Structure 1
Amino acid sequence: MTAKSLPSLWGWLRSLVILRGSVLPRILPLIFLFGLYSALIVAAWQTHWPLPIGMLGELTGNVVCNLVLGLLLVFRTNSSYDRFWEGRKAWGDIVVNVRNLARTIQLCIPVQTAEQQQRRQKVLQMLPGFAVATKLHLRDMGENQELEPFFSPQELMQLRQSPNRPLQITLWIQDYLQQEFQQERIDTVRLLELNQFLNNIIQGLTACERIRQTPIPPAYLIYLRRLIVVYCLCLPVVLVPKLGWWTVPVVGIIGFILFGIEELGREIEDPFGFDPNDLPLDGICTMLVDNVMTISGIDVPDNTAPVPPIPTDSSLLPTH
């Protein structure tokens, strides 16, 4: 063991006991419920209560049944992780194109008067405001003080009345670019480049909305959960002749595996919320505010709402 491997090992061991981000608190009631049910089955077996051990043994030991359950769980987890990763890629596209748009506006749109300088700074402030508005939009949050540093009271009023606040912000940015082109401060090639950045930002917004508004079909979730429950109901009856009271902890462990995998899929299928396993949108928006303000040379607004930073513990993040 080298000194370099110690932090990674410590992080791995620490992840075994932390509860934040774990599915255990959510599935613990189900584990206790089926543990109690298993104890009743053991008590019934010890009092010679007739149990359909043979029939249920064929059901739980059937290769086809186990294969179907395993495939459904794998599909559930993969589908949820695909949604999580697609959401992260969409936000990555938003970040890249906001940075490029801010950089190009700052360097390639000349200003000769104080009014032009003010208008350019205003549209640069709108870019991180778009990211914050997108975060609030995906979380179905209404009016929020996080938008106040980036927009005037009149603009905030228009945003409150807009059914899609991020899209409204892109219209303002597009209007600014069009005015700069009409006043011949940028040429056609530069306008096309800036519009492409803006189109990519809208594409990222649309990808996030697609994930948010297209949940996994309820029929699939209902069937999977019923199948897990039936399996856990049959399992103690099959195990009790061989394990006795050991049936209770064994069923608890198997329930932890099955319910844990299903809950893990539910936890990450909507990656834009507030749960520990969701995307760190607050940290991403804070980073983007700092980036754009650094590019434009504008001071970071003091009244932005404090938000947590992006997690940096590599032991708790996906590795692929």
Structure 2
Amino acid sequence: MVLYNPKDWWRLIFAFHKSDTFRRTFPGIVGVAIYTGLINYLEKEVLQVEFANTLNIHSLVGFVLSLLLVFRTNSAYERWWEGRKIWGSFVNNSRNLALKIDAIITNQNVKTIFSILISNYILASKDHLQNKANSQLLRTSEKYPSEYYASFKHLPNVVAKAMYREVQELKENGSLTDEQLLYLNLELKSFTDNIGACERIKKTPIPFSYNIFIKKVIFLYVFTMPIGFVQTFDYWAMPIVALIFYIFSSIELIAEEIEDPFGDDANDLPINDIYQTIKANVTEILE
């Protein structure tokens, strides 16, 4: 995620970050401008055709396309914001579980095990959502060595299983009462609820037909626009059509990027930083 000062207008206007849509669409912008110039030459110099009221149709279609893109962007941002709320819940629940364990349990070895497991769960969830699951990155202990995590299909579940096992052992040896077990269960359950909610976002993209329809409409809108625009604007239609292509394609690119907010793109959620925050907080509380 890119960190920036939203009040620094001039720097933001003239900055060209590697994720900026202008960089990504620049070849297309140049291509559209050249295409518009070619259409102008053919209409004015070769075919010598004239059209009347050529802007009306594109004005109407542009209004409809704008509504579609607004809905598309809002849907993508809603997924991004829901993902941020879920990871905020990860932060709160990790702290709450660590604080409760610290208050209830007196055995420092048990506290250390929970510190390791809570941090491991967040790391496993982060890597799982980024398709980078690697058990070798998890912290190990004598009770849960690397071999425990080696054979897995869903790494967060393996870590959650260990936390539930620890709680059950504490209950069986009398270190937890029934009330305290219920007291801890809320946070334990929330971990699985959160990863399930993230998976729902990640594995449920915008419907294919809707996605491809918008791209087709943008393509048809932009590549038919020069036919009429050159009659009114002559060669000035080249920067005008290129600008419109940049605006519409950029909106679609931004929506594509933020609809899956758990990756490594510049506009994705800072889940790496969130993991480091959780790890530091839990370690401070329990170790």
Structure 1 length-normalised TM: 0.82
Q: Could you tell me which amino acid in structure 1 is paired with residue 242 of structure 2? A: G
Q: 1:73 aligns with which of 53, 69, 76?
A: 69
Instruction: Tell me the residue number matched to 1:15.
Output: 12
2:62 aligned with 1:38, yes or no?
Answer: no
Report the 3-state secondary structure (helix = DSSP H, G, I; strand = E; otherwise coil) of the residue aligned with 2:268: coil
Deviations 1:283-309 (A, max 9, x none): 11111111011111x3xxxxxxxxxxx
1:47 aligned counterpart, secondary structure: helix
Alignment check: 8 A CA contact 2:130 2:262 kept: yes
Gaps of 5+ in 1: 1-6, 112-116, 299-320
1:126-275, aligned counterparts within 5 Å? 126-143=117-134, 145-147=136-138, 149-150=139-140, 155-275=145-265
Q: Give the equivalent residue in structure 2 for 1:100.
A: 96
- TM-score, scaled relative to structure 2: 0.91
- After TM superposition, list the pairs within 5 Å mapping 1:37-56 onto structure 2: 37-49=35-47, 53-54=51-52
**Code of the aligned partner of 2:32:** F
1:72-110 deviation per Cα after TM superposition (whole angstroms, max 9, x unaligned): 101110111011111111111111101100111111112
Q: Single out whichever of 52-61 and 282-291 deviates more from structure 2.
A: 52-61
Aligned counterpart in structure 1 of residue 105 of structure 2, from 99, 106, 109: 109
Instruction: Give, in whole Å, the separation in 2 of the partners of 1:8 and 1:133.
Output: 32
1:108 maps to a residue whose letter is: I
Separation in structure 2 between the aligned mates of residue 153 and residue 31 of structure 1, nearest angstrom: 59
Separation in structure 1 between the aligned mates of residue 50 and residue 164 of structure 2, nearest angstrom? 70
> Partner of 1:87 in structure 2?
83
* Letter matched to residue 19 of structure 1: F
1:153–1:45 Cα change, 3 Å: farther
- Are 2:136 and 2:146, in contact at CA under 8 Å, matched by a contact in 1? no
Instruction: Write the deviation string for residues 33-59 of structure 1: whole angstroms up to 9, x where unpaired.
Output: 211110101111231425584486443
Percentage of matched positions with identical amino acids: 31
**Contact between 2:135 and 2:149, CA under 8 Å: does it hold in 1?**
no
Query: How far has the Cα of 1:159 moved from its partner?
Result: 2.4
Aligned pairs, number: 282
SS at match of 1:283: helix
Which ranges of structure 2 fall in alignment gaps of 5 or more residues? none
* Distance (whole Å) between structure 2 residues aligned to residue 51 and residue 152 of structure 1: 82
